[in-house]
A and B are shown apart, each in its own frame.
Chain A
Amino acid sequence: MTLALVIEQVLNGVQLGVMLFLMAAGLTLIFGVMGLINLAHGSLYMVGAFACASVAALTGSFWLGLVASLAAAAAAGALIEITVIRRLYQRDHLDQVLATFALILIFSEGTRWLFGSFPLYLDIPPLLQGAVGLPGGAQYPLYRLAIILAGALVAFGLYALISRTRLGMRIRAGESDREMIAALGVDIRTLYTLVFALGAALAGLAGAMVGALQSVQVGMGEPVLILAFVVIVIGGIGSIKGALIGALLVGSVDTLGRFLLPQLLALVVPPDQAGLIGGALASMLIYILMAIILAVKPRGLFPAQA
């Protein structure tokens, strides 16, 4: 185990964490402001990836694809907010779960209808191809570093948006008191649509960026969605800060666990066994982390004010 390898794995963990943050931020914002649990958030991630891949294939430009992914996911988000989600704010969580579960079926099958069952592929843009030298002598892909940077920018932008701008003020007001904000004359329906579209755009952005690392296919959003759930449960539902810390925690624990556990186990059991047990254990690690955190703090690390 060299230093370079460790740095590489840590960076991979951070990169996964940043992706998860983009998903979790939208989820937690939507729950915090509107009190809605949205299972279809993973579908918006998928929409972003498909939009990016198809526009990039059509125009030859990844960057146009990236813009398209933001636009498509935001538009899809606004559309389902206006047609479906809006009717769910006053319903119980069970109805929200069922309706958004139905949306997943519609989105997944609809995408398969439009694009067929074969995965699409998205190339890393020429500007970001290649690798950067790490201390210790290893190479790290430039594109992954760019993702980390983009995620950090978004996190900062989101923080500025919520704490510094008028829209952010309204979002915070909406979180604490819906009647108050309605009484102040802010159009709460438009605000909700905006927040939902913003969350959708973040998910779409995450989908597009990851699309260049793996294949773009139906169902790609669901594993990420569930990890994002783990993130916001750990961080405290409704808290952006909790989402950021939870995402980095989950990203690094998952990545480092898969890397380190088999090696650690190899010290006590035969290597082939160590790989097996280590791999299986590593896949459960973040859930064990979640269980431990919940056992100590049932409302997560940074519980939003009740």
Chain B
Amino acid sequence: MNRETRVNLLLLVLLLAVPFVADALGQTFTVTLVTRIAILALAAVGLNIALGLGGLVSFGHAAFFGIGGYAAGILASHAMSGEPMLFGFEGSAQMPVIWIVAMLAAGLVSLAIGVISLRTSGVYFIMITLAFAQMVYYFAISWPAYGGEDGLSITLRNGFPGLNTMRPTEFFLVCFGVLAVALVLSALLSASRFGAALQAARQNEVRLASIGIAPMPIRLTAFVLSAMITAVAGALYADLNRFVSPSMLSWHMSGELIVLVILGGTGRLMGPVAGAALFVLLEFWLGGITERWQFFLGLILLVTVLFARGGVIGLFAGKERHG
């Protein structure tokens, strides 16, 4: 077992153990905090597929995060009111159904955004993904049916078969389970034929084309998969807060998601988890010290970008290894 694998396992064990210890000690808030870490880590695992493996700097992943959130909110509100929605669908308060809808919706939107924005690259791609996410944001604000600017409350946290999701530790388990599945998928993906082609597209697109693999379909697939995973995280995030609002779609959110991936270490399997943990704890710690925590968060981030590249995983697990 190499050093990175050991660091990864340690992180996962910690993540899984802390909430139960905290719960036993009556620290419910800590359980919520770790749940938040797991959910943001999941969103970042999604983004990492596009950004880390594919080198696609999407500044619009908040759109998919928010779409997931709204899927949870809208389906739950229809299930609650009994009022049928599109195609006579009655809504649902079951997480697995919500996740599927979230993935479908985000998949379709990311397909449309991807087809247009992947024709470009570099700085164009960054700005265009940002602009399209902003379009979704303004749409959510100006469409009053589901709360508009005020957002939408989820009265009762959506359920998962066999678990009581209103209990913090059980909801945490759901989130951790999904995160674990996503991590396994992400590990398989990066080692697979598809992953090889995707990483090659990042490093040398001309080479990839000259051996007969067109980069565009590879990138588009990665972009869509990435969006779908981030959408599930969005649905869980809405369930955690029992509230969804346009702020989940805002460009600050997109920026934060990128920060999570970079803090942890771009393209590393557990980078998103380390990044999310660091970010949430930093936010919590700074928030406890000063009201102006965003100012200091900005400073820390700035110093990290300027002087410490490679992220947290790089710090503890050394340089990336290649097969």
Do A and B contact each other directly (Cβ–Cβ < 8 Å)? yes
User: A-side interface residues toward B, CB under 8 Å?
Assistant: 31, 37, 39, 84, 87, 93-95, 97-99, 101-106, 108-110, 112-113, 222, 226, 229-230, 232-233, 237, 276, 279-280, 282-284, 287-288, 290-291, 294-295, 298-299
Closest to B120 in A: A298
Is the C-beta of B211 less than 8 angstroms from some C-beta in chain A?
Answer: no
Q: Which residues does chain B contribute within 8 Å of A290, judged by CB atoms?
A: 128, 131
Q: Map CB proximity to A onto B281-293 as digits: 1 under 8 Å, 0 otherwise.
A: 0000000000010
Cβ-defined contact, A106 with B298, below 8 A: yes
Tell which of A93, A99, A105, A226 touches B122, judged by Cβ atoms closer than 8 Å.
Answer: A93
Assess A104 versus B298: contact at CB under 8 Å? Given A37-B126, A284-B135: yes
Contact B298 A37 (CB under 8 A): no
B211 to chain A, nearest CB (A): 24
| Contact between chains at A105 and B297 (CB < 8 Å) | yes
Selecting from B158-166, B168-176, B255-263, the interface stretch reads: B255-263
Q: Does B29 interact with chain A (Cβ within 8 Å)?
A: no
- Classify chain B: how many residues form its interface, as a range: 35 or more
Segment of B79-87, B138-146, B187-195, B270-278 in the binding face: B138-146
- Determine if B124 and A237 form an interchain contact, defined as CB atoms under 8 angstroms apart: yes
Residue of B nearest to A94 (CB): B57
- The answer to whether B306 touches A294, judged by C-beta atoms less than 8 angstroms apart, is no
Q: Flag if B262 contacts A283 (CB, 8 Å).
A: no
B301 and A97 contacting across the interface, CB-CB below 8 Å: no
Cβ contact of A294, chosen from B128, B266, B297, cutoff 8 A: B128
Partner of A109, one of B127, B138, B292, B305: B292
CB pair A237 B123 closer than 8 Å: yes
**What 10 pairs across the A-B complex have the smallest Cβ distances?**
A105-B298, A287-B135, A109-B295, A106-B298, A102-B301, A102-B302, A283-B138, A109-B294, A229-B127, A102-B298
Closest A residue to B59 by CB, please name it.
A97
Q: B119 within 8 Å of A by Cβ?
A: yes
B130 touches A (CB below 8 Å): yes
Closest CB in chain B relative to A119 CB, distance in Å: 17
List B contacts of A98 (CB < 8 A): 258-259, 262, 301, 305
CA distance A237 to B130 in the complex (A): 15
Closest chain B residue to A113 by CB distance? B292
Q: With A110-B295, A295-B116, A298-B120 given, is the CB distance from A37 to B127 under 8 Å?
A: yes
